[in-house]
Amino acid sequence: MIAQTLKWIGGVDGFLELIDQRRLPAELVRLQCADIGQLYEAIKTLAVRGAPAIGVAAGYGLSLAMQQLKPSADTAEAIAHLEKSAEYLAQSRPTAVNLFWALERVKNHAQTFVSENQNATQTSLREAVLAEANGIYAEDVDMCRRIGENGQKFIKNGAGILTHCNAGALATAGQGTALSVMFEAQRKGKKFKVYADETRPLLQGARLTAWELKQAGIDVVLICDNMAGWLMKQGQIGAVITGADRIAANGDAANKIGTYSLSILAGNHSIPFYIAAPSSTFDLSIKSGGQIPIEQRDADEVRFFGDRKIAPDGVDIYNPAFDVTDAENITAIITEKGVIESPSTEKIAEHFK
């Protein structure tokens, strides 16, 4: 079984239903977001997470925002409200570029719709906004499948695959990015074992990735983050495959904190290191990873383990959500358009032509 992490229910007056990932794996609970404030909170608190899923959710968030319009509002007022709502949602998380990409796409589509349709009404505009959000959803589902198809060749029969954080169906509208590669390899009949880092401090690997892989019937072993290097030295890891939240024009890739360390370990042990991500995760306006904003999260995520305090009072805490892996440490980037071997500025520019 592959989870469906989010779906829109109803028409223009509908709502967005999400798997509440804060509750996994203990409970499978679905959260209904009926207004933009609820969705902002869901993104901020990681009820929905993963760059592609955040982007899809944000697109639907603008459809939720349009429900707040007064019946008397004309299209100019509607566009102004849409722009303000996009600015609000953009503040929920700073690193995942899909969030900004989706908001910009829906906003631009709405503006174009009004400029090209002199008889546009609030109702027809709301329908256009929802249609564009649905389009982003459908494209994400297809993108996930194609990433998996393009990347499954890198998984060899009998191999051990290491992954970090969660880049599965829970992180997308479809079957995932990094985990899509594994799902497609499974469909090809390949037998392999996945080692999932627990991914401190929020344990996305333990709570989400291990849960997804187990549900799909893939052989999965959960490990602590600091065990990866030893497994590599023992020859148990044939490849590392992770997702990404933003990729710069030169191929530097931001992903969950700890990914950079894995790339160094993989290189030291001559193990290929792959990033699986959609084209929407590339930010070609940023030349290198040094320009990617890194989200700093609440210190209590480190200070506490669940409800139990594990750090002494008064100690300083550093809690970046992401780090950046240099392009030179990446064997290839797997996208829905194909594979970028040994990524560089020139190769990525060619990939997007």
Does 296 have pLDDT greater than 80?
yes
What are the backbone dihedrals phi and psi of residue 31, each rounded to the nearest 5 degrees, phi first?
-105, 130
Pull the structure tokens for residue 293.
């904003």
Answer whether residue 50 shows pLDDT above 80: yes
* Partners of residue 241 on adjacent β-strands: 274
Known catalytic residues are 245
What confidence score (pLDDT) does residue 96 get?
74
Closest residue by Cα to residue 178 from 239, 126, 238, 242: 242
Is pLDDT of 94 > 70?
yes
In the structure, what pLDDT confidence band is assigned to residue 1 with cuts at 50, 70 and 90? low
CATH 1.20.120.420 in the chain, residues? Answer: 6-146
The 3-state DSSP class for residue 308 equals: strand
In three-state form (DSSP H/G/I as H, E/B as E, the rest C), the secondary structure along 251-273 is CCEEEECCHHHHHHHHHHCCCCE
Report how far residue 308's alpha carbon sits from residue 350's, in angstroms, rounded to the nearest whole number: 50
Residue tagged 């900004």 (tokens): 100
Kindly report, as residue ranges, where domains of CATH 3.40.50.10470 are found in the chain. 150-351
Q: How confident is the model at residue 237 (pLDDT cuts 50, 70, 90)?
A: very high
> How do residues 301-335 score in pLDDT, each as one tens digit?
999 998 899 999 999 999 999 999 999 999 999 99
Find the Cα–Cα–Cα–Cα dihedral 279, 222, 325, 19, rounded to 10°: 40
Residue 218: which of 177, 238, 256, 189 has the closest Cα? 189
Q: What is the pLDDT of residues 23-38, one digit of tens each?
A: 999 999 999 999 999 9
Can you name the CATH fold of 6-146?
A: Four Helix Bundle (Hemerythrin (Met), subunit A) (1.20.120)
Q: Which two tokens stand for residue 183?
A: 């799902």
- Is the pLDDT at 250 greater than 70, yes or no? yes
pLDDT of residue 3 exceeding 90: no
Given the candidates 3.30.1330.10, 3.30.450.80, 2.30.30.100, 3.40.50.10470, the CATH classification of the domain at 150-351 is 3.40.50.10470
The residues, ordered by sequence, that sit 6+ positions from 19 with a Cβ below 8 Å of its Cβ are 3, 4, 5, 6, 28, 29, 30, 31, 48, 170
Mean pLDDT of 338-345: 98
Q: Which candidate, 122, 101, 63, places its Cα nearest to that of 281?
A: 101
CA–CA separation, 67 and 123 (whole Å) = 10
* Per-residue pLDDT reduced to its tens digit, 170-191: 999 999 999 999 999 999 999 9
**Mean of pLDDT values over 234-262:** 97
Task: Indicate whether this model's pTM tops 0.75.
Answer: yes
pLDDT tens for residues 127-175?
Answer: 999 999 999 999 999 999 999 999 999 999 999 999 999 999 999 999 9
Q: What is the mean pLDDT of residues 193-202?
A: 97
**pLDDT, tens digit, for every residue of 104-122?**
999 999 999 999 988 899 9
What single string gives the DSSP state of each residue in 5-74? Answer: -EEEESSTT-EEEEE-TTSTTT---EEEE-SHHHHHHHHHTTSS-SHHHHHHHHHHHHHHHHTTS-TT--
